[in-house]
A and B are shown apart, each in its own frame.
Chain A
Amino acid sequence: MSVSDLTPLSAPGGSTVRAVHDEFHGDLLEVSMGPHHPSTHGVFRMIVTLDGETIVKLKPVFGYLHRNHEKLGENTTYLASMPYTDRLDYLNSMTNNWAYAVAVEKLAGLAVPERAEYVRVILAELTRLLNHSCLAGFLMQDCGCSGTPLMYAFREREKILDLFESLSGSRMMCNYQRFGGCRVDPSADWLAGAQRLTDGYGAFLDEFEALLTGNEILMARTQGVGRLSSALAISAGVTGPALRATGVAHDLRKVDGYGVYPRFDFRVPLGDHGDTYDRYMIRILEMRESLKILSQALAGLPGGPIMDPKAKLRGFRPKAGEAYGRIEGPKGEIGFYLISDGSANPYRYRVRPPSFINLTILEDMCLGRTVADAVIILGSVDIVLGEVDR
């Protein structure tokens, strides 16, 4: 597309809207959505080219929150990168920690005690609950349902964050996993609290679904919007609920069977349209499966140590080599690729950020829709800019 004849429309001082001329489409309007737009979930920007109201081109612009996380990882020790992983996807620090721990454990060949594996599963599923609840709330916010579902979701999320705080000391920046186990052993009180939460969460989900799932406005706004084909989703590396909403049975908890997931009985919900409503529904169904896993994990939690006694905290230097470790985070496959040269710092530290890669097909989903739909589609992809920009 040749962009010519640039005419700023707004007053001096920078325009967010300008007219462009295109030989094929005729007169178009280029709108810069973001970075300070409430619908962009942070500092994300989309340059949307509109033909009337229809999107003919959409280019995402990243980097407003870029801090070169990977370079930081190369300049600190393996342990010191752990608290930085909290800040990637700041809703889901527990799963970020786990993915990083998995990669380092692969690199150094560390074993993880069974109790720690169970605790990790419990925390990961709690994280999935809070992420998916919040996502549903944010999606409603994007639809224009301002506040109510989001506040209900936040109310429940706060209960999970209280559990995280009483275990790890911090609500969101947990910094809890260690190479070869977990940092502190959950007490009986804590486990009872987790059990209470698991028992009560189903009732909240019922209420949440009564509020949303059958809601005609939500259906009208989301069904058929932002369709994604399974072939494109696979090719574009889309993972997590967005991939499963297109009907592809790909859940690393089943595929890789990492940790102790093969011991639990749960199902992987799949969508069949790949539209925004499916992406919403998959997350509600996944939360119900997470509750199943949680009650099984809490019932089967074995005793024993929480840390591998051979794991070293100080002076951790894995032998030279490389490893890629991945887990199923709430947003998709979160992986860490590490190259060690035998020193205390990783030679190369790479994060595979699911929200960033899931945005590859944002334009494909938005073409032919309106700006209002683009907001919902972006909301249903589920991004956190801390992870997108790194």
Chain B
Amino acid sequence: MLGTGLIKGLAVTAKNLVGSYHDPARYTTLEYPEVKPKLPEAYRNFPFLVTENATDPMGTLRCVACQICEKECPPQCIYIEKSKDKKPDAAGKPQIYPAVFAIDTSVCMSCQICVEVCPFDAIKMDQEYEIATTDRFGALLLNREQLAKPNSYYHQIHPTEAVEVDARLAEERRAAEEKAKAAAAAKSAPKSAAPAPKPPAAPSAEAPKPPPAA
């Protein structure tokens, strides 16, 4: 009969209208500024730099200014200048650090490729999303002071991932220390009849992961 389709459709809209008052499956919106959504752990927004120590953020940046993220960044929004000198990192090893590390968040497209390619777990994705500003130019270009956030913050926003990263870094540091100890022991060992094999040339503590091919 002509009109049954219409009446059926009206029944559906009526069901949804009434349902939106009591059924959470039919009323799915949030009243945003008052009620905030619970973000999934994987949610990503813009990158930040991990520092080991919140009290000395610039002294304990994990970043060693290797510039891999700068090269791989698709929209080229990262800018790094290497330092001329070396500073001790969290493990006490002298390292180059970024004298300038800037991210233009008006260009950044939150793709996470910098995080994936970083061999030092130094750059991670933030979850801060209320970042609107009235200053289109200056306020969206973040320098390293604005980018640096402590590891504890990383644990807060990505707990599972951060625990994995910490475990991996601790393991790498331990392995590097053992290797360094073994190398030192081999050096100081008395020169026996057979010439001792040369200790590994590269101090592996400097590069926790093998350097990239590119």
Contact A148 B13 (CB under 8 A): yes
How far, in whole Å, are A81 and B109 apart by their CA atoms in the complex? 12
How far, in whole Å, are A315 and B6 apart by their CA atoms in the complex? 60
Task: Point out the residues of chain B lying under 8 angstroms from A184, CB to CB.
Answer: 42
Which residues 163-180 of A sit at the B interface, judged by CB distance below 8 A?
Answer: 165-170, 173, 175
Could you jot down 15 A-B contacts, CB within 8 Å?
Answer: A80-B73, A82-B113, A83-B109, A152-B16, A168-B42, A170-B44, A170-B110, A173-B110, A175-B111, A175-B112, A183-B116, A207-B15, A211-B9, A216-B3, A317-B214
| A277 CB → nearest B CB, Å | 13
Contacting residue for A84 out of B68, B73, B74, CB 8 A: B74
Contact B117 A313 (CB under 8 A): yes
How far, in whole Å, are A170 and B214 apart by their CA atoms in the complex? 28
Which 3 A-B pairs give the minimum distances between C-beta atoms? A315-B213, A315-B214, A214-B5
The tally of residues in A whose CB lies under 8 Å from a CB in B reads 41
| A267 CB → nearest B CB, Å | 26
Contact A214 B4 (CB under 8 A): yes
How far, in whole Å, are A170 and B74 apart by their CA atoms in the complex? 17
How far, in whole Å, are A214 and B6 apart by their CA atoms in the complex? 8
Interface check B2, CB cutoff 8 A: yes
Contact B12 A314 (CB under 8 A): no
**Given A80-B74, A314-B213, A315-B212, is A212 in contact with B42 using a C-beta cutoff of 8 Å?**
no
Task: Point out the residues of chain A lying under 8 angstroms from B13, CB to CB.
Answer: 148, 211
Task: Point out the residues of chain B lying under 8 angstroms from A210, CB to CB.
Answer: 8-9, 11-12
Task: Point out the residues of chain B lying under 8 angstroms from A219, CB to CB.
Answer: 5
**Given A80-B73, A81-B74, A175-B112, is A312 in contact with B4 using a C-beta cutoff of 8 Å?**
no
How far, in whole Å, are A214 and B10 apart by their CA atoms in the complex? 12
- Which residues of A does B touch, CB under 8 Å? 76-77, 79-84, 86, 148, 152, 155, 158, 162, 165-170, 173, 175, 183-184, 207, 210-219, 312-315, 317, 344
- Which residues of B does A touch, CB under 8 Å? 2-6, 8-9, 11-13, 15-16, 26, 28, 40-44, 68, 72-74, 109-113, 116-117, 125, 212-214
**Given A169-B42, A214-B4, A315-B213, is A79 in contact with B113 using a C-beta cutoff of 8 Å?**
yes
How far, in whole Å, are A84 and B110 apart by their CA atoms in the complex? 11
Task: Point out the residues of chain A lying under 8 angstroms from B2, CB to CB.
Answer: 216
| B4 CB → nearest A CB, Å | 7
Task: Point out the residues of chain A lying under 8 angstroms from B214, CB to CB.
Answer: 314-315, 317, 344
Contact A165 B40 (CB under 8 A): yes
Task: Point out the residues of chain A lying under 8 angstroms from B8, CB to CB.
Answer: 210-211, 214-215
Contact A212 B9 (CB under 8 A): yes
Task: Point out the residues of chain A lying under 8 angstroms from B113, CB to CB.
Answer: 79-80, 82-83, 175
Contact B73 A166 (CB under 8 A): no
Contact A158 B28 (CB under 8 A): yes
Closest B residue, CB atoms, query A175:
B111
How far, in whole Å, are A283 and B125 apart by their CA atoms in the complex? 37
